[in-house]
Structure 1
């Protein structure tokens, strides 16, 4: 059971919705942009006292009907609504999906061989905490100068939020930061290691991480494009694909040039190009 997580998630979504978004008149004198408990309770057809108990973690067994009414009132998307129901199930003591009890930091030989076959593409394997476990030489050539691999146990979230060099590397740093936190948040309700790591990261990074963590974001992209700045080849646009491995908390990320200029730039990092 994750005490308080259901209420905290519900509260985060209530505070993110403006009255205008749910058809209520705007009041210029409001002190908070989000919905008041009384407003959400009215829209969902529940009492303010009952909603308060849910948000404060004193009622951990709301019915499916109540949860659906709250999701509808808040105009939650399918992903947020599903997460709300899953949190309620977990809070009630029902097992929903696999729970991770140990942090995986080993990679099977066959996965290592797969990475070797993907050379010289920049690829890496990461666990659910963002630990970089193995990577290709192509990834080292691309990201080594950034400093992300300097640590004894490199971690993409730690680098993004704690290392000041990350903001120079990721031209879309705000988006990268949002997506990393969304990745981590998806497991916060089922894995104490996630919560412990988040507390450590909050202490090291401060509000840049903690503010995002408190918003409880969902829906990070598994594919898309990203812009990186490399000290030798300049700015490159990379398409990324995230593949779930058979190990439940390991993912393989493959980076590919998103345009011809980026392809030519990456080629300069390959051995024998004269640029390394």
Structure 2
């Protein structure tokens, strides 16, 4: 559940820092991976009791100063710091993502479908909280359908990434793709997240579970920095993610270079005109 994400993230990052990295001796009989709570508390200038409350989810309103001190002590990079602030906001019910879960729309609102229509011939897709694809442009269809990404009545990117072997070839940076989708689940969490993650772990196996426990961080993104299309070859992409409403997000894929623009232009000429959409 989302209330435990802040503590779980802090604990995971603490266990990933080795004492030598922060100038502490390793010593003997160290059973804890990474830093002990007492070591992190000392480095951050807070009490062990308070750090314990944070990690156990019993205190979800740390001050800005405490968050900054812990981030400095853990030597978090920019993505980790941004993710930490997202989680603090979510734990307090003030984040952009619904802290108690977003209501799911059965149908994609007409306004979002009109937006997709206006975005043609740009690859764009409406994504649900659990990385299900709800509606997309013709350009997106032409770009990813040959990769197997839209197979089935309700395409689901997590299953495509972790259970469909075609994804390893279709997405050259598969690791970034997988991490981005796991991050998507973390950032769009709600009361049903624990149940969802349990089901995904059972169906997708330890590769998903390991990545989920590692808590990859950063901005919401689908991780499609490039795809290998059977007709036009490698297409490099950048993305813009727009938080919409009711658990829906719009992701827009833009060409990263002239070759990608030319490839997308060619694909747009092959695809007939009609928005694809599905119901949940």
- Shared fold, TM over 0.5: yes
My pick for the range that moved more, 134-143 or 69-78, is 69-78
C-alpha contact 2:177 2:222 (8 A) present in aligned 1: no
Across the aligned residues of Structure 1 and Structure 2, the Cα RMSD in angstroms comes to 3.1
Instruction: List per-residue Cα deviations over 1:208-244 (Å, max 9, x = no partner).
Output: 2111111223213559971111122221112222222
* Alignment gaps of 5+ in structure 2: 272-280
How far apart, in 2, do the equivalents of 1:227 and 1:236 lie?
Answer: 5
Provide closer, same or farther for how the CA distance between residues 155 and 72 of structure 1 changes in structure 2, counting only shifts above 3 A: same
Correspondence list, 1:1-276, <5 A: 4-25=4-25, 34-46=34-46, 48=48, 51-52=51-52, 54-56=54-56, 59-60=58-59, 64=63, 69-76=69-76, 78-83=81-86, 85-86=88-89, 90=91, 95-97=93-95, 98=98, 99-188=100-189, 191-220=190-219, 222=221, 226-245=225-244, 247-271=245-269
How far apart are 1:7 and its partner, in Å? 3.2
How far apart, in 2, do the equivalents of 1:52 and 1:116 lie?
Answer: 50
C-alpha contact 1:223 1:241 (8 A) present in aligned 2: no
Provide closer, same or farther for how the CA distance between residues 82 and 257 of structure 1 changes in structure 2, counting only shifts above 3 A: closer
How far apart, in 1, do the equivalents of 2:235 and 2:2 lie?
Answer: 42
* Alignment gaps of 5+ in structure 1: none
With normalisation by structure 2, the TM-score equals 0.79
Query: Which has more radius of gyration?
Result: 1
How far apart are 1:169 and its partner, in Å? 0.7
With normalisation by structure 1, the TM-score equals 0.80
Provide closer, same or farther for how the CA distance between residues 130 and 222 of structure 1 changes in structure 2, counting only shifts above 3 A: closer
C-alpha contact 2:173 2:225 (8 A) present in aligned 1: yes
Provide closer, same or farther for how the CA distance between residues 27 and 232 of structure 1 changes in structure 2, counting only shifts above 3 A: farther
* Higher RCO (Cα < 8 Å, 6 or more apart): 2
C-alpha contact 2:129 2:185 (8 A) present in aligned 1: yes
How far apart, in 2, do the equivalents of 1:272 and 1:205 lie?
Answer: 34
How far apart, in 2, do the equivalents of 1:80 and 1:216 lie?
Answer: 10
